[in-house]
Structure 1
Amino acid sequence: MAGQVHLDIDGPLARVTLSNPGKFNAMSRAMWRELKTVFEDLHGSVDVRCVIVAGEGGHFCAGGDIAEYPDFRFDEVALRDFHEGDVWGGLGAMLACDVPLLAQIEGNCMGAGVEIASCCDIRVAASAARFGAPIARLGFPMAPREAALVAREAGAATAREMLLEAAVFDAAEMKARGFLSTVLPDGTLTTALLARAQRICALSPQAARLNKQALRATQGHAVAESDGAYRYADSAEHREGIAAFIAKRPPVF
């Protein structure tokens, strides 16, 4: 099985770690399913007061595990099941979790990484972190609900640049655009996130949960799937983009 989502709980503090060694923690289908289970369990926990979401080995998440894509992406039904079942299952569980979520972002935060970070309440990054969603190079769009999530959290202009221009931004720019709460020098992130998490853990867990419910009620998290959103599954550009990535060659669109 490629990749894992680790859950470690120490008293009121939980740490969720994305781990896919050698792939900058790119999300496999199994990892999306694990993410859903982990956050459903955290939502139901009466003891956990704060969750830190991080990646392993100096990177947050570099996107999806593209090596898996030829197995399902070229069939419309299978592609819809991946995005609406696996991916949105994980993201939806994060959004529905009433425990405060802190994103600890280092290194690559691309595509799926931006989506996962967008589900967190407070996002803190190391100065060397990089953000983007350059999937146009792979010949496919971001799924509707995922695009709406990123546009809401990162801003519509930023989402457009990421998706239409394959733009990649540094941490300082993403803070200026309002996506990040804080940018810190490399090597100081873990200590700083722990201190913030401990402050949250010392506050009222009931207040935190009710605040999250109230904030969620002000935002339309539910975005309906658009008819035909996955009809591109068997398209030439979709196949070419993924084949070129796997073959480590420039795509020809």
Structure 2
Amino acid sequence: MAGQVLVHRDSAVLRVTLSHPGKFNAMSRAMWRELKSVFDAEAHREDLRCVVIAGEAGHFCSGGDISEYPTFRFDEAALRQFHEGEVWGGLQAVLDCPVPVLAHIEGNCMGAGVEIASCCDLRVAGQGARFGAPIARLGFPMAPREAQLVAREAGAAVARSMLLEAAVFDADQMLTHGFLNTVVPDTDVAPDVNRRAANIAQLAPQAARMNKSTLRLLASSGISEALLSSAYAFADSAEHREGISAFLAKRPPVF
């Protein structure tokens, strides 16, 4: 079985589950393509307010499916297509999601798992989670775009340790380094993620989308005139009026 990416729509929350039984949800080539297809098809729905990415059976993702590697990794053109087309295609689709994306992390979060988690806006992990990219033991480097992504989100020092020393970090260490938003007991990960997703789904969706767009631009190029020229176009929007009116009336807003 090549593994699969499962999708469950729960009202305004989309739940995406990495599933590769027996391989701790290692990403196969088919799964990378499915990840892109899922986000291309679902992430831009007007009624969507939040996405949760999780792994099946107590693990997030253990990396890539190494059993497939001999079929393509030793050919330069095929290897480039794998990383620049399939892997980056899936990661970019997650990065392009206009609504908040939460990572529900348990157990192994290695290699491809760290990369997928790096595409998420918020990351909740169980105390038993482990993080790394020990590909130096497999004789190859991390692809440039993927390394840039991990270094940006996990920090340069963490990325260097993962890639140059094959270091593995526990959840508390990754919290200290700023990669995680919170660490909870393993049994509390699902309830915590569900609570956060439900909370996000109740907040103003327009504001969430605009905040994501602003943060994305700030991370890539800083404040530009183009950003400033459109930053306040929401002034007369229904959501803006509702949020202020509800606060003044001391009632819950209805978005």
| TM bracket, shorter-chain basis | 0.7 to 0.9
| Residue equivalent to 2:55 | 55
- Structure-2 separation of matches of 1:210 and 1:42: 19
- Structure-1 separation of matches of 2:76 and 2:55: 31
- The Cα shift of 1:172 comes to 0.3
Q: Which whole-Å deviations, capped at 9, do the CAs of 1:206-249 have from their partners, x for residues lacking one?
A: 1111111111111229xxxxxxxxxxxxxxxxxxxxxxxxxxxx
| Residue equivalent to 2:234 | none
- The Cα shift of 1:186 comes to 1.3
| Residue equivalent to 1:214 | 214
Percentage identity across paired residues of the two chains? 69
- Structure-1 separation of matches of 2:48 and 2:147: 30
| Residue equivalent to 1:177 | 177
- The Cα shift of 1:137 comes to 0.1
Q: Which whole-Å deviations, capped at 9, do the CAs of 1:99-120 have from their partners, x for residues lacking one?
A: 1100000000000000000000
Following superposition, which runs of at least 4 residues in structure 1 exceed 3 angstroms of deviation? none
Contact 1:42 1:99 in 2 (8 A): no
Q: Which whole-Å deviations, capped at 9, do the CAs of 1:67-90 have from their partners, x for residues lacking one?
A: 000000000000000000000000
| Residue equivalent to 1:155 | 155
Contact 1:13 1:49 in 2 (8 A): yes
- Structure-2 separation of matches of 1:196 and 1:41: 24
| Residue equivalent to 2:165 | 165
- Structure-1 separation of matches of 2:42 and 2:193: 19
**What are the residue-to-residue correspondences of 1:83-94 with 2, within 5 Å?**
83-94=83-94
The 3-state SS of whatever aligns with 1:157 is helix
Q: Which whole-Å deviations, capped at 9, do the CAs of 1:137-171 have from their partners, x for residues lacking one?
A: 00000000000000000000000000000000000
| Residue equivalent to 2:133 | 133
The 3-state SS of whatever aligns with 1:103 is strand
Listed as ranges, the gaps of 5+ residues in structure 1 are: 222-253
Of 142-151 and 187-196, more deviation after overlay is shown by 187-196
The 3-state SS of whatever aligns with 2:207 is helix
- The Cα shift of 1:17 comes to 0.1
The 3-state SS of whatever aligns with 1:218 is helix
Listed as ranges, the gaps of 5+ residues in structure 2 are: 222-255
Larger radius of gyration: 2
- Structure-1 separation of matches of 2:30 and 2:47: 27
- Structure-1 separation of matches of 2:220 and 2:76: 26
Taking CA–CA contacts closer than 8 Å with sequence separation of 6 or more, which of the two structures ends up with the larger relative contact order?
Answer: 1
**What are the residue-to-residue correspondences of 1:166-205 with 2, within 5 Å?**
166-205=166-205
The 3-state SS of whatever aligns with 1:109 is strand
- Structure-1 separation of matches of 2:218 and 2:41: 24
* Aligned: 1:110 with 2:110: yes
* Aligned: 1:142 with 2:163: no
| Residue equivalent to 2:9 | 9
AA in 1 matched with 2:174: M
| Residue equivalent to 1:224 | none
- Structure-2 separation of matches of 1:59 and 1:118: 16
* Aligned: 1:34 with 2:34: yes
- Structure-2 separation of matches of 1:31 and 1:140: 21
| Residue equivalent to 1:230 | none
* Aligned: 1:82 with 2:99: no
User: Normalization by structure 1: what TM-score?
Assistant: 0.86
The 3-state SS of whatever aligns with 1:67 is helix
The 3-state SS of whatever aligns with 1:70 is helix
- Structure-2 separation of matches of 1:160 and 1:116: 18
Contact 1:98 1:212 in 2 (8 A): yes
